[in-house]
A and B are shown apart, each in its own frame.
Chain A
Amino acid sequence: MPRARPTLLLLALLSLTWHALAQTTQLTMWVRTPETVELLGQSVERFHEANPDVRVRIVPFAADAYPGALQAAISGGDLPDMFQVHNSVPVPRLVSLGLIQPLEPHFSEGFRDRFDPATWWEGSTTVGGEIYAWPDRSFRRASLFMYYNRHVMREAGLDPDDPPVTWDAFAEQATQVTEAGRGRVYGLHLGFTSGWFNERVIMQLATTAAPAHGVPAEHLPGRMVNWTTGELFDPAGIQEAVDFFAGLMETEAVHPDFLNTGRSQATAQWAAGQAAFLFDGSWRLQELLRTEPDLDFGITMLPSLRGGPVLWGVEGGSQNAFAVPERSPNVEAATRLFEWLSDDYYPLLIEGAVDLTPIPALNADDSLYTSEAFRELVRLTELGTVVLPSPVMENAEQLETIVRLAGKTGTRPFGESMQGFLAEGRFDVSDFLAGYGTQQREFLAEALEEAQAEGAAVSEGEWIFPDWEPTRNHY
């Protein structure tokens, strides 16, 4: 009987798991940031040695599959013991739905004091002052950078140690590479296929084009808030950023497949010598160091119109923190793991050239830095990553507005639209920007209204910070 065997096998499997369960606490941990999976795994191995009564299983997810998985797990009451939060369901929402439990009571005395105080941020890692999520890295995250292939630059007759800083210089050098490459090599490559990534590229470039402007931020995707005016979407600089790409496309300075190549493939093609410059996230660095040990490359800021810093906004807390479901009986073991990881895994973040940690003492420990490129990345992050003002800091009840806002998305997503415009060669995007801006304005008004209807005492004025300066940290 072909059917008998699977059943038997399954029974055997079940009884085995049952047996194991009786002796140890089994924890499941969902991770959606691939750059940390390996490091977490290393640290968990050591955790097992020190804690034989706990077994942790890490389940890695592809970023694209994660929101759907999270949605299904929430609706089915099947959340794992620890899961990485995602901005489709912000922490306050998880709390108000009664889905996660506070971690604060389980942490040992003085645990929270070792962290940078801004790590504990209302609406991100804490709600009502209590810790609900453990941060997997520093809130001061870097975003996009330019990687340059020294070998290709040299071949094209460029100075490999003098990558372009301004748009003009960039266009010139990129065109030169394309011309020297004779249809085999191009100036720039990037994987311009995912909405969120396209959005970051265009918006971050735009921050350099206008003196007063909005700043894109990880915690406010799709927006570009100008905090001086409280405008949710300030389009200043975006048309110029699009024109910058239009120019590159015209001179064939950008790889012909950039509109239909995924980021990982674009990186591989750039590393294989098909382009001199690559725009990609800071998270690419650790991978390049690991998988391309012989590649002669450098990292620098994205080019800017006039040479100023390319900005990226963050708030305190963490966008990738781990939470524990309300119904999980293993919260004690989970927090034990979090404390372990805070000692054992955080240093790996720096050694592995992944990111900064939420613990200032570790970030300052020079002996942890293993690569020059990562040192440079940290330096650039200090220049480009700014902590933005937060209405929630002004008035905790603005949390309600933020949660409402997360449910409102325009009918025409920004990043996908940009890809469409570049593909069609429709480089005048002013109509789109006007429509998009109007919609965003309405969203803020609606969100405030809804929050007020829920009884929150919030006002639009709390979104305005008259003396805000884009390059200054606010907190």
Chain B
Amino acid sequence: MTSHATGAPATARRRDARNRGRRRWAYAFVLPQLVLVAAFTLYPIVMTHVYSLYEWPGFGPLDRFVGLRNFARLIGDELFWNAFQKSFVFMAGTVALQLPLALFIAILLNSERLYGRNVYRTLFFIPVVTTSAVIGIVMRSIFASHDGLVNNGLLLLGLIDRPIRWLSQGDTAMLALVLVASWKWLGIKMIMWLAGLQSLPVELYDAAKVDGANYWQTFRHITVPLLVPVGVVVLLFSMVDALTAFDLIFTMTEGGPGFATEFMELYIYRYAFTSFAGGLPQLGYASAAGVFFGITVFLISLALSLLARRVSRLRR
């Protein structure tokens, strides 16, 4: 923040008047978004917390207050913990795959002199702009055991000698989802890395060249440390993306086979909106699951941000 402190009281008074005027402007500027956010983001979040204390199907009077009983039930449900665990496995998988790969491609595409740079960037970006649900439906065919594109490709290359039943087994279904989700969202991570790379100071590289550092040394000692803050942002985004993924999984595996890929969002959806086994939706219970999971995610993100801050402070 810049501040020009002067001693003269007259200037201070004028500054006060100006500041008051500016404050009024500031409130006017902030207001429109505040109203919208309060109505359509904060209010639903608050209501979710309220619902979590009720037994409520999502309609009719909200009159069966149950306190924390929904949470108690949640903790006793093994499928809740299954979903909890599966969500984090999926997140770990997509993050581990996407981050380095996106960085690698970003580095390749960062060169000013590369022919067809924009074409490549666009190609890697196409999956990002395609509706997740359609991707899920198409991928179902592509990962099919009978005549699926992936299996036929692997057979052709001689990597396998019989088709893999990708989506009919829990572990491979998870793997397929991780692959597809990483593929779909890599483009946006690539752009973020690219942005990070372009913000690196050129002088440092020139200095390194003068010092006779080779490419790998430059990368190891200049690029990587400088990219850490960007990396944290990319990481946080990938995590939140993965933990809130829904459409793709819903259309590609529907959480199956069994509950092998039933992530938290699908678990919540199942209780909130569907009448599985013919019962009423249980929005109160679903909200409790959402609140519990939301708090966990929030705490993890918070811990990560603090950790990142500590690390970058240590470096200095």
Q: Chain A residues near B281 (CB, 8 Å)?
A: 67-68, 71, 88
Contact with A411, one of B79, B145, B255, B260 (Cβ below 8 angstroms): B79
Interface size (A, Cβ < 8 Å)? Answer: 49
Quick check: A420 and B256 within 8 Å, CB to CB?
A: yes
Complex: chain A residue closest to B140, CB-CB: A260
Q: Can you pick out 21 interface pairs between chain A and chain B where the beta carbons lie within 8 Å of each other?
A: A74-B60, A75-B59, A88-B281, A97-B60, A220-B278, A222-B277, A255-B146, A256-B145, A257-B165, A260-B140, A260-B144, A260-B167, A408-B279, A409-B279, A413-B276, A417-B259, A419-B257, A419-B258, A421-B258, A423-B260, A424-B169
- In the complex, A220 Cα to B255 Cα: how many Å? 24
Interface residues of B in 143-193 (CB under 8 A from A): 144-146, 163, 165-170, 173
Task: Give the top 8 A-B pairs by smallest Cβ distance, nearest first.
Answer: A420-B258, A221-B278, A88-B275, A423-B257, A409-B279, A222-B277, A260-B167, A68-B273
CA–CA, A258 and B165, complex, Å: 10
Are the C-beta atoms of B277 and A409 separated by less than 8 Å? yes
**New contact pairs (7) apart from A88-B57, A409-B277, A423-B256, CB-CB < 8 Å:** A74-B60, A88-B274, A88-B278, A416-B276, A422-B257, A423-B170, A424-B169
Q: Which chain B residues border A260 with CB–CB below 8 Å?
A: 140, 144, 166-168, 173, 253, 256-257
Instruction: Give every chain B residue within 8 A of A64 (Cβ-Cβ).
Output: 274
Q: Of all chain B residues, which has the CB nearest A189?
A: B146
Question: Are B275 and A423 interface neighbours, CB within 8 A?
Answer: no
| Interface: A306 (CB within 8 A) | no
Q: Out of B59, B78, B79, B173, which one reaches A71, CB within 8 Å?
A: B59
Given contacts A71-B59, A88-B279, contact A416 B256 (CB under 8 A): yes
B247 on interface, CB distance cutoff 8 Å: no
As a 0/1 sequence over residues 65 to 84 of chain A, the CB contacts with chain B under 8 angstroms (1 = contact) are: 00110011011000000000
What residues of chain B lie closer than 8 Å to A421, measured between beta carbons? Answer: 258
Instruction: Write out the residue numbers on chain A whose beta carbons fall within 8 Å of the beta carbon of B59.
Output: 71, 74-75, 89, 97
**CA distance in complex: A71, B274 (Å):** 9
* A43 contacts chain B at the CB level, 8 A cutoff: no
- Does B254 make an interface contact (CB < 8 A)? yes
A270 → chain B, closest Cβ, in Å?
12
B225 interface residue (CB < 8 Å to A): no
| Interface status of A86 (Cβ within 8 A of chain B) | yes
1/0 per residue, CB under 8 A from A, across B70-100: the answer is 0000000111000000000000000000000
B225 to chain A, nearest CB (A): 45
A87: nearest residue on chain B (CB-CB)?
B278
Q: Is B108 an interface residue (CB 8 A)?
A: no
Q: Mark A119-135, 1 if CB is under 8 A from B, else 0.
A: 00000000000000000
* B58 on interface, CB distance cutoff 8 Å: yes
Asked if B277 and A259 make an inter-chain contact with CB atoms under 8 angstroms apart, the answer reads no
Q: Judging by beta carbons under 8 Å apart, are B279 and A259 in contact?
A: no
Query: Hey, what's the 0/1 contact readout for B55-69 against A, CB within 8 Å counting as 1?
Result: 001111000000000
| Cβ–Cβ < 8 Å partners of A34 in chain B | none
* Residues B168 and A423 in contact, CB atoms below 8 Å apart: yes
| Shortest distance from the beta carbon of B162 to any chain A beta carbon, whole Å | 9
* B303: interface (CB < 8 Å): no
Q: Which of A88, A258, A416, A422 is close to B255, meaning CB atoms less than 8 Å apart? A: A416
Whether B275 lies near A87 (C-beta < 8 A) is: yes
Partner of A406, one of B58, B170, B254, B279: B279
The answer to the question of B280 belonging to the interface, with a C-beta cut-off of 8 Å to chain A, is: yes
Q: Verify if A414 is at the interface (C-beta below 8 Å from B).
A: yes
* A193 CA to B137 CA, complexed, in Å: 13
B275-A86 in contact (CB<8A): yes
Proximity bits, B257-277, A CB within 8 Å = 1, else 0: 111100000000000111111
Contacts of A222 in B (CB 8 A): 277-279
B277 — which chain A residues lie within 8 A by C-beta?
Answer: 195-196, 199, 221-222, 409-410, 413-415
Q: Given the known inter-chain contacts A71-B58, A74-B59, A256-B165, please indicate yes or no for A420 contacting B275, CB distance below 8 A.
A: no
A401-441 contacts to B, CB under 8 A, are: 406-417, 419-424
- A219's closest neighbor in chain B, by CB? B278
Across the interface, do B60 and A256 meet the contact criterion of CB distance under 8 Å? no
> Does A423 contact B169, Cβ atoms closer than 8 Å?
yes
Separation of A274 and B253 alpha carbons in the complex (Å)? 22
